[in-house]
Copies of this chain bind each other. A is one copy, B any other.
Amino acid sequence: MTTQENDILIECPKEYLLKLLTGKWKPCIFRYATQGPVRFGQMVKLLPEATRQGLTNALRELEESDILERRVIKLKPLHVEYHLTELGLEFIPIFKAIEALNLLPVRKNQPLHS
């Protein structure tokens, strides 16, 4: 834990939770995880712009925040599944609230001819 998170903790105890879900790949992974258990290689395929390292980091952080649980499945080619925890389930309404917004993420600096 860093000073940064500590500061937010003091000022905005609840908003601190937001930090647990932010980062370049965490929101994407989280959303996939709400559909069912996800696997590393699956994420590599579904998020082709992400690097292995980036996904590993995101998965580790979600695991450390107790949002995902890592389960090794001792089967034929050896699997590892990440499941939403009870805590993880509690974050779903936040994403529901985001999805309820009927806004398109309009970007201000769009290229004129795209």
A7/B19 in contact, CB under 8 A: no
Please, how many residues of chain A have a CB less than 8 angstroms from a CB on the other chain? 44
A55 CA / B97 CA spacing, docked (Å)? 27
B24/A12 in contact, CB under 8 A: no
Residues of B within 8 A of A94 (CB): 94, 97-98, 101
A28/B15 in contact, CB under 8 A: yes
User: A19-B22, A27-B12 known; A1 and B98 CB under 8 Å?
Assistant: no
Chain copies in the assembled complex: 2
A93/B97 in contact, CB under 8 A: yes
Using a CB-CB cutoff of 8 Å, which residues 62-80 of chain A contact chain B? 64, 66
Query: Which of B4, B13, B27, B104 makes the CB contact (< 8 A) with A8?
Result: B27
30 contacts between A and B (CB under 8 A): A1-B107, A1-B108, A1-B109, A7-B24, A8-B24, A9-B105, A10-B49, A11-B28, A12-B28, A12-B31, A13-B104, A14-B95, A14-B105, A15-B28, A15-B31, A15-B95, A16-B105, A17-B98, A17-B105, A18-B18, A18-B21, A18-B22, A18-B27, A22-B22, A64-B108, A66-B108, A90-B101, A93-B101, A94-B94, A94-B101
